[in-house]
Structure 1
């Protein structure tokens, strides 16, 4: 299954994460990206946060003021069946980067501005399966750019 990277997003901590033209990805995430609460976000098992543009667009259609990067994801992708992105799934991002999904994210209050009722639980996996962002660890690093292909690899 092939998709593509829509945006690669970074911040100095917090949201929104803003798009960059390219980013170097290593074991602990994107060089230059910082997290506001490293005890909760980041580290090797939460090196990257991934989210599907299709979910963002559907949320916006519900009236939420969400856009790529405002939910804190590092990599906004499209064209992948988001229901198939589960813990243990591996994705190839661009020609070099290989990641493995480790868990669904728990929405944080810092992203509440992306929701019309300020309730970020709209993307909590336990309440709305298939609508969560996903954390991933980096198996092999490299450079990511918008437009790069994304491949959901077979088990």
Structure 2
């Protein structure tokens, strides 16, 4: 991809619906997530996690998916678009699930997201499109499970993010494989 890694789409939606609505721009708020989004907050916002312990920190403030995953799923017949899987940011030119835990993504004019872990594909995917959950899981060469449904992060530095914004990756000193969060 010429020009390096980029944000291609941004989305948000109040409430706890599965898909998110495409926006011209979103505002990231440090320590909270996407302004006006149903999953924004300093503590967990996902219903199942709130039921277990509402005081847990929200490590899932922002959901990012690679546009290349949409390409793969569309080629398999799923007919998906940006925001459909609940992501706030769709990217191109960056292998999100290969990043290290703690990697920092510098977006646009100054926003910074720290990657906290992998989104764990769940039954909601099959409710949206039958068979989608299995399509978002794979195996690597050693037979280990690969979760392809994107990464989650927290907002370290707020700012406005819009389609076309560049992404600069700041790797941590030591690589730590992403785990589900």
Deviates more, 1:134-143 or 1:43-52: 43-52
Q: CA deviation at 1:115?
A: 3.6
Q: What residue ranges of structure 1 are gaps of 5+ in the alignment?
A: none
**Deviation larger for 19-28 or 105-114:** 105-114
1:140 to 141, 152, 157: 157
The alignment yields a C-alpha RMSD, in angstroms, of 2.6
Partner of 1:64: 78
1:48 aligns with 2:62: yes
Q: Which moved more, 1:20-29 or 1:123-132?
A: 123-132
Q: Which runs of 5+ in 2 are unaligned?
A: 40-44, 51-55, 173-181
| 1:116 Cα deviation from its structure 2 partner | 4.3
How far off its partner does 1:8 sit?
A: 0.8
- The alpha-carbon distance between structure 1 residues 151 and 60, as it changes in their structure 2 partners (threshold 3 A), is same
Q: In 2 relative to 1, CA 139–123 (structure 1 residues): closer, same or farther, beyond 3 Å?
A: same
Q: Equivalent residue of 2:5, what SS?
A: strand
Deviation at 1:40, TM superposition (A): 3.4
Query: Partners of 1:93 and 1:79 in 2: how far apart?
Result: 14
Contact map agreement 1:8 1:23 (CA 8 A) in 2:
yes
Q: What's the counterpart of residue 75 of structure 1?
A: 89
The residue aligned with 1:150 is 167
Quote the Cα distance in structure 2 between the aligned partners of 1:98 and 1:78.
Answer: 17
Structure 1 residue 130: Cα displacement: 5.7
TM-score (norm 1): 0.84
Q: Which moved more, 1:76-85 or 1:13-22?
A: 76-85
Given candidates 10, 13, 20, the residue that maps to 2:12 is: 10
1:19 is aligned to 22
Matches of 1:142 and 1:15 in 2, distance apart? 24
Structure-2 change in CA distance of 1:47 and 1:66 (3 Å): same
TM-score (norm 2): 0.73
How many pairs were matched up?
A: 154
- Find the structure with the greater CA-based Rg: 2
1:125–1:140 CA distance, 2 compared to 1 (3 A): farther
